[in-house]
Each structure stands twice: as C-alpha cells, then as structure tokens.
Amino acid sequence: MTVDPADLIACPQCDALYRATHLPDGKRATCVRCGTVLISPRERSFLHVIAFSFTGMILMIGAIFFPFLEISTRGLSHESSIFGVAMAFSDGWIAPLAFFVLSMIVALPIFRFAALIYTLWPLANGKPAWKHAATMFRLAEESQPWAMAEIFIIGTAVALVKLGGLAKVSLGPAFWAFCVLIIVIALKNSFVSKWTIWDAIERK
Amino acid sequence: MNVLTATDAGLIGCTRCGRVWTPDHAHCERCGATLHKVDKSGLQRVWAWWIAGLIFYIPANLYPMLVTATLGHEQKNTIVGGAMELWRHHNYGVALIIFGASVMIPIGKFIAIAYLALAVGNERRKGGPPHLHLYEVVEFIGRWSMIDVFVVAILSALVQLGFVASIHPGPAAASFALSVAFTMLSAQSFDPRLIWRGPDRVSS
C-alpha cells in the first residue's frame, strides 16, 4: 500500500504518523500517544483571527502613543510611555537591551498580527494565498515565544506593588489598552488551528 | 503503546507544520522550515545554549539589578536582594513571584533541560508522557523569567524624580535577559521527538 505523504500528518512532538482529514468545526484531533492537539478547526476561524488581529493592532498602536504610567510624590511627577519603558535601557553598554525589550513588547506582537492578517485575508475570502504567505505564517509561529506582551503586564503589576508605599501612581490609557490586548491575544490564539491554515495555504 | 512514526515509515515529518516528506527533501516545501531527522545531533545545540545561559546567569546574580538613589543615598539591589526587600516590606506574594520567576524557574530550567538531554536513549526508560510533560512545562514557563527585566525597565523609566528619587538599571539586567534568552533557545533546540525513541532506536 502506498500513501501520498501529502495526505499524512506527523505529530511535531512525538513523530506519530496519521492520515490527515478535514474535521467538522468544533471537533479536534489529538495525538493518541502524547495528546498534542493536531487539528482543531473552529467555525469561521479565519475571519475571527483577522478581526482579533486588527483589534490587537489598533490597541497596540494606541498603547504606544498614549501615556502608560505616571508617578507623583512631593509635588514632583514623571510620566512614561511604553516606548519610554524600553528606552530605560538605552544608556551605556546595555543599550542593545532596549532594542530587545522594544521587540518583545511592541514590535513582535505587531508583526504577528500583521503576518496573520496577510496570511488569512485572501484565504478567508476564498482566494489563493498571497505570495510568501507560508514564510509569513512560519515566522509568526516561530516568533510566538518571543512576543511577551502578557509577561510585560504582569511585570507592570509587580512594579506597581513595589512603588506602592513610596509614591502615587496613576494608570494611563496605554495601561488599559495593554490589559485588553492580552485578552484579545488569548482569544485570537484559541481560533488558530495551525494545520487548517497550512492546509489552506498549500491548496492555493 | 506501539505507534507508527514517520521515521519508522521511512519519511520525515516537519516539526513546524506537520507535513510529511520523503527523506530526499531538506526543507519543508509547504512552510520552508528545515527538516530534521530524529537523531541526537541536535543535542549539541541544546548544550551550547545551555552553557551560554548558565555563564550569563552567574553575573546576573552577582551584580546589581537595580540602582536606587533617594535624597543622595544610593542603594544597589541584586535579584535575590530585591526579592528579600519586598519580603521585608510584607509584600509576600510579589516577593514569591519575583523569587519564583528569577531564581526558581531559571535553576529549575537548567536542571530540567539537562535531565531531558541526558535521558535521551537511556536504557532504563522508554520515553513517555512524563518527559514530554516536563518539556512542555519548561517551554511554557521559561519565558516568564523575563518578568524581572520588565519590572526593572518600568521602574527605571518611571522613577525619574531628580534628587528626590531615581532608579537606574544595573548590569545584571542585561546578563539576566541574555541568560533567559539563551535557555529559551536551548529548550527550543531540544527535539521532543527524541523522548519517544526507545533505547535501541536512537541513532547518534
């Protein structure tokens, strides 16, 4: 019996081989050996991911330009934006760290939103995938561990506690935008079925 | 449990998108990722990043993370010192978050990755769910160590009140960020498919 490798799926975590099939929406296929979710389509998932990505992008752009936090004590006050937070490391030899922090909290999340929109926009409209869609989606997947918006917001909470007794801190619009952003990212991720997207890209 | 793997079938599975290819392919033609056979050659990269991470973890603990100047008085805090400071001010929860994210998680990660890499091909085990579970925990939780770097960035950006109080990042912030990044790369270099290859089936 010969099988076309294109009809198969190998579990990325344990290498178990399966015949890939299109599932009805809401059903999920998991690896029998290690339990990794392989295929998990959801109804109109492409549209949902595009909508959440646009929402996330708008929130992120707002978060960059609005004030993030303001501190005041003894008649003195100082305000910082998200950009200012990354620039805290811009002095001296640790300057490259400013670049990494800016990438992790702003640039990579924005890139991932843009890459998902680029990949899914034509697919959601029933058109063949755009050029380089595979590369864009792969880069979006690979950069996922490095996009740390949710870790940043927990870091903010810790910083607020540290400042607690010392000064009055007021939360700016960018702080709230970031909080909503975390929820939007989580919702967006729940609609992404990697195999379904790869399959749609391939069948262009 | 006996499961047919892509390797057993004489095929290579793409770890990025799950597509299966005949062994004459070097790259996945669907997503563009490099195809890897399931063998121990990738462990070299795991160990290289692991050692780099460990080297940078040492200065991260010896040098100050935060330099606080209040009314002409300068105070330097290391990672552990910062957590102890919070504990003394009765912020037990936050002290535990910082201690967990900056001390327990990194050290636990070094041990877990070393254990997983050493256990590959070990006669006494046949791989299995507990090892994959450990790997998934390491991959998931590793990024959260970045919290302390973000806390330092936020405090340094915000607390700039001239003579009254100002906070600057110390050299440990950079080496700690590098240490976390290197251990993340170490974990990503580990091929979880190795966990499932029994003792006799792992080729070097």
Q: Do A69 and B139 touch (CB under 8 A)?
A: no
Q: Looking at this predicted complex, what is its ipTM?
A: 0.89
Q: Based on the domain organization, do A78 and A10 belong to the same domain?
A: no
Whether residues A29 and A124 fall in one domain: no
Could you tell me if residue A118 is left (phi over 0), alpha (psi between -120 and 50 degrees) or otherwise beta? alpha
Q: Is residue A3 located within the same domain as residue A65?
A: no
Whether residue A54 sits in one domain with residue A17: no
- Reported as a single tens digit per residue, the pLDDT across A38-79 is 988 887 889 999 999 999 999 999 999 899 998 888 788 888
How many angstroms away from the CA of B25 is the closest CA of chain A? 12
Task: Domain ranges for chain B, please list them.
Answer: 1-37, 40-201
Q: Please, which pLDDT band fits residue B1 given cuts at 50, 70 and 90?
A: low
State which residue of chain B sits closest to A171, comparing Cα positions: B158
Of residues B127 and B108, the one with the higher pLDDT is B108
Residues A66 and A28 in one domain: no
Q: pTM for the full model?
A: 0.89
Domain that holds residue A22: 1-41
- pLDDT tens for B26-47 read 898 888 888 888 888 889 999 9
Residues A20 and A70 in one domain: no
What is the fold of B40-201? Butyryl-CoA Dehydrogenase, subunit A; domain 3 (1.20.140)
- Name residues whose C-beta falls within 8 Å of residue A3's C-beta, 6 or more positions apart in sequence: A19
Query: Please, which residues have CB within 8 angstroms of residue A107's CB and are 6 or more apart in sequence?
Result: none
Same domain (yes/no): A27, A87: no
> CA-to-CA distance for A103 and A114, rounded, in angstroms?
14
* Same domain as A137, residue A104: yes
Tell me, yes or no, whether A190 and A97 share the same domain.
yes
Q: Are residues A165 and A71 in the same domain?
A: yes
In angstroms, the separation between the Cα of residue B94 and the nearest Cα of chain A is: 6
- Of B17, B129, B174, Cβ closest to residue A94: B174
Inter-chain CB proximity B5 and A8 less than 8 Å: no
Looking at the complex, does the CB of residue A85 fall below 8 Å from at least one CB of chain B?
yes
A4-45 pLDDT per residue, tens:
888 889 998 888 889 888 888 888 898 888 888 898 888 788
Question: What pLDDT score does B174 carry?
Answer: 92
In this structure, the answer to whether residues A56 and A22 fall within a common structural domain is: no
Contacts of A130 (CB under 8 A, 6+ apart): A118, A119, A121, A122
Look up the CATH number of the domain holding residue A194: 1.20.140
For residues A68 and A88, state if they share a domain.
Answer: yes
What whole-number distance in Å separates Cα of residue B41 and Cα of residue B36?
Answer: 10
| Total of domains in chain A | 2
User: How would DSSP label each residue in chain A?
Assistant: ----GGGEEE-TTT-BEEE--PPPTT--EE-TTT--EEE---TTHHHHHHHHHHHHHHHHHHHHHS--EEEEETTEEEEE-HHHHHGGG-SGGGHHHHHHHHIIIIIHHHHHHHHHHHHHHHHHTTPPPPTTHHHHHHHHHHTGGG--HHHHHHHHHHHHHHHTTTSEEEE-HHHHHHHHHHHHHHHHHHH--HHHHHHHHHT-
Task: Tell me the pLDDT band of A141, cut-offs 50, 70 and 90.
Answer: very high
Residue B204: which pLDDT band, with cuts at 50, 70 and 90?
very low
